Structure 1
Amino acid sequence: MIPYWRLSAYYFFYFAFVGAFSPYFTLYLQSIALSATDIALLMSLMQLMRVLAPNLWGWLAERLGMRIAIVRLSALASLAGFSVFFLTTEFAGLFAAMALMAFFWSAVLPLIEGLAFAHLGEASHRYGRIRVWGSVGFIVAVLALGHSLDRLPIEAVLWITMSILVGIVLCSFIVPEAPRPPLQRDAASFGDTLRRPEVRALLGACFLMSAAHGALYVFYSIHLVGMGYDKGVVGWMWTLGVLAEIGVFMWMPRISVRFSLRAILLFSFACAVARFLMIGWGAHSLALLLLAQVLHGATFGAYHAAAIAVVNEWFPGRLQSRGQALYGSISFGAGGMLGGLLSGYTWEGIGPAWTYTIGSGFALAGLLWLLLGWKGEPRPAHALHEPRR
């Protein structure tokens, strides 16, 4: 039996943490008089640890077959790391706390993704309907905290985020382990898979897509507040993007019947090129901001659902955990770190508009790499569509 609700609950709290932390923790850091560079350095630790930690944890999970044990350990250690934020406002202390929390927190998602696909088995088309609860959790957190901060002090970010981490710990103890997939004799090795040109193109393009989103995740809330929008509007903007993402997750089985994974990815990159230009140069227009946030359904929802399905297909069996970890490390890790750090240096130097233009350039480079590196007629998106009856 598929542990549908237990997996869904974990995704809910995991992305509720993202909804509380990503939009508002930077506002807390700004309130304690950190510079844009310091904020970018701290936030980039989340991406740096996504480069280092998932591959270590994925390797251990593959060797030891203890995915859920690592998930539980990581949840507890993440909670311990975050608690240090209550004890200091000095940069060195904040840096140590962020590094500890990020090292363990970044280990979890690739393992949970692997567990979800292992539990789903032949019903992998149901992934989007489990993952959608993560988007719901994000919306609940970002809306509740956004409106709360119009009345509560900014320090409320710490308490609310801490309570969500407690929820992650509790959920980690109700998600069951999945049977280890058998090693397929005819499957290529990990190294052989990485040597395929379409695999390199996908991973390179994913790196650039996350780099394109760097300024969004670090400075979007600061950008909107600086343009005169209140925190409630900021919360609704983040929510609109995730509502679009939810719609895409729910419709993905039908979309992927008509379009290949490659086509979905190319469309997502094209949307990212336009989206970041709109945010950079059109933030004075509420209409353009609304349109840019609707495009989040493509630049994250469709992109991630298609990319993770391709990774699941190209890294089968016992390569699954390492494949998902590599995808997370290269894209959300290395790519996000580059985008976040670069935006920290350009934000005060050349301004928000040109910072987001650089992000648009990253997306364009990713589009071209994917277009030229993954050639030929792609296979249908079997990992996403509903089985025909």
Structure 2
Amino acid sequence: MFSIPASFWLSLYFISFFFIWGVFLPFWGIWLADKGMSSESIGLFFSIGLLLRFVSNLTLLPMVSSAQSTLRLLRILGFITVSVFALLLFYNGYIWLAGITLVANFVMGPLPPLGDLIGARLVNQIQLDYGRVRLWGSFSFIVGSTSVGWLIVVLGKDAILWAIIAAALIMWILSLLNLSPQLHDDIDLNKEQKKSLFTLFKRPSVLLFLIIVGSIQGSHGAFYAFGTIYWNEIGLSGVSISWLWAIGVFAEILLMRFNKKLFSNWSIKQMVLLGLVAAIIRWSVFSVSDNFYVLAIFQTFHALTFAVTHLAAIRYISLQKKSEMVSYQSLYAGVALGLMMAGFTYLSGLFYEDLHGYIFLIMSLLLMPVFWCIKIWKTE
């Protein structure tokens, strides 16, 4: 079978996956609405989808015990991803829309961590510069969200589905290729690591960690599910909406690129506090402004609300015992980025019809108790 350099393969994998994500995350709600689904149903299925990502991360990832099983699971999930989206070319009744949206969330949940796991192996094998490889994924997110915004203007909202199918097909075909060099089994998820996953819940510091980063990241749920819909309602064009998404991710990329210079002397608490304050300001402005330029300015806060919080979480995880790092990462991905975001998204869906843009103000208010959690949290 054809082989390609492992670092190049990983770059292409992140490019293809995050192109899908750059289309799915901001535009799937609009596609569902175009097919007749209500905003309450969209919020419900987005929140259930997040819950399913939590379940898949905690049930499918522990099945990975070797390099080959990592690639095997990636290939299976990639095939299912392209297959379920392709089904919507033929079936788009309510049951199909709901079922495939949920299945897609379940199978796509472990795809980013699987890429991270492969990257971790390659760091040890070939001294891979993982940060530079991962940046291509963020750039691809921008390309996906921006290009589909233009395609919607020209081809209509069906361009959303076609773009996802095309990128998913490329991702699956890529997964069938061999890596050069092949992955070695020098990083394994052993039984001790798997067993420690649930015992961590007994530690107050872990619970506070999940509440703090989960609340900040979870507050993005309203934006991910209804940001595009709301901006469309207040009269912004598809192109303008695409640029707003691109601005946020570009700010994230810049911060990731220079994070060592910016935050090397910051404590973990200071970083999450910055993310919290930025989130409260960002969502408050989004709730009252319909000016593109004002929204563009505060959309750059994505670098603070998401990226800084994420960097703080990764730094906290890196301070833990090596035997527990995989468990911490699983909890962060599953609980903070999955379960808690599902809760915030579900609440957004319940009240969006009545509140519209003010749902972002609710997100700001829900973040207020996190100040107290940060105050009592012990990071070391």
Fold shared by both chains (TM-score > 0.5): yes
Show the 5 A alignment for 1:90-239.
Answer: 90-121=93-124, 126-174=129-177, 177-181=183-187, 189-191=196-198, 193-239=200-246
Matched, 1:372 2:376: yes
Amino acid at match of 2:260: P
Q: CA deviation at 1:194?
A: 4.1
Amino acid at match of 1:221: T
CA distance in 1, matches of 2:277, 2:125: 32
Amino acid at match of 2:116: E
Deviation digits for residues 119-141 of structure 1 (CA, Å, limit 9, x no counterpart): 22499994432221111000111
- Check conservation: 1:211, 1:339, Cα contact below 8 A: yes
CA distance 1:191–1:230, change in 2 (3 Å): closer
CA distance in 1, matches of 2:63, 2:247: 38
Amino acid at match of 2:204: P
CA distance in 1, matches of 2:261, 2:176: 34
Deviation digits for residues 182-211 of structure 1 (CA, Å, limit 9, x no counterpart): 789x99944554433332211122221232
CA distance 1:5–1:309, change in 2 (3 Å): farther
Percent identity between matched residues is 21
* 2:362 aligned residue: 358
Q: CA deviation at 1:244?
A: 0.1
| CA root-mean-square deviation | 2.8
Deviation digits for residues 105-131 of structure 1 (CA, Å, limit 9, x no counterpart): 112222322332332249999443222
CA distance 1:39–1:178, change in 2 (3 Å): farther
Amino acid at match of 2:29: T
* 1:308 aligned residue: 314
CA distance in 1, matches of 2:371, 2:15: 31
CA distance 1:368–1:194, change in 2 (3 Å): same
Farther off after superposition, 235-244 or 294-303: 294-303
CA distance in 2, matches of 1:64, 1:202: 30
Count of residues in Structure 1 that have an aligned counterpart in Structure 2? 372
Q: CA deviation at 1:320?
A: 4.4
Show the 5 A alignment for 1:50-65.
Answer: 50-62=53-65
CA distance in 2, matches of 1:279, 1:8: 34
Q: CA deviation at 1:287?
A: 3.4
Deviation digits for residues 70-119 of structure 1 (CA, Å, limit 9, x no counterpart): 12211111111222222222111112212222221112222322332332
Deviation digits for residues 30-77 of structure 1 (CA, Å, limit 9, x no counterpart): 112211112212322320211211001122114897222212211111
- Check conservation: 1:67, 1:177, Cα contact below 8 A: no
Amino acid at match of 2:297: L
Q: CA deviation at 1:4?
A: 3.0
SS in 2 for 1:34: coil
Q: CA deviation at 1:163?
A: 0.5
For structure 2, list consecutive stretches of 5 or more residues without a partner in the other structure.
Answer: none
Farther off after superposition, 203-212 or 270-279: 203-212
CA distance 1:309–1:125, change in 2 (3 Å): farther
* 1:384 aligned residue: none
* 1:386 aligned residue: none
CA distance in 1, matches of 2:22, 2:128: 26
CA distance in 1, matches of 2:312, 2:128: 12
CA distance 1:16–1:64, change in 2 (3 Å): closer
CA distance in 2, matches of 1:223, 1:86: 27
SS in 1 for 2:155: coil
Show the 5 A alignment for 1:264-303.
Answer: 264-282=271-289, 284-303=290-309
- Check conservation: 1:128, 1:305, Cα contact below 8 A: no
Amino acid at match of 2:226: F
Deviation digits for residues 347-378 of structure 1 (CA, Å, limit 9, x no counterpart): 1123321x111211333333432332235xx5
SS in 2 for 1:228: coil
CA distance in 2, matches of 1:119, 1:339: 36
- Check conservation: 2:275, 2:309, Cα contact below 8 A: yes
Q: 1:38 pairs with 4, 23, 41, which one?
A: 41
Farther off after superposition, 213-222 or 174-183: 174-183
Matched, 1:339 2:344: yes
TM-score when normalising by structure 1:
0.87
SS in 2 for 1:149: helix
CA distance 1:79–1:265, change in 2 (3 Å): same
SS in 2 for 1:314: coil
TM-score when normalising by structure 2:
0.89
- Check conservation: 2:56, 2:109, Cα contact below 8 A: yes
CA distance in 2, matches of 1:98, 1:77: 12
CA distance 1:196–1:127, change in 2 (3 Å): farther
CA distance in 1, matches of 2:119, 2:372: 32
- Check conservation: 1:78, 1:102, Cα contact below 8 A: no
CA distance 1:183–1:154, change in 2 (3 Å): closer
- Check conservation: 1:215, 1:356, Cα contact below 8 A: yes
CA distance in 1, matches of 2:318, 2:7: 19
CA distance 1:193–1:142, change in 2 (3 Å): same
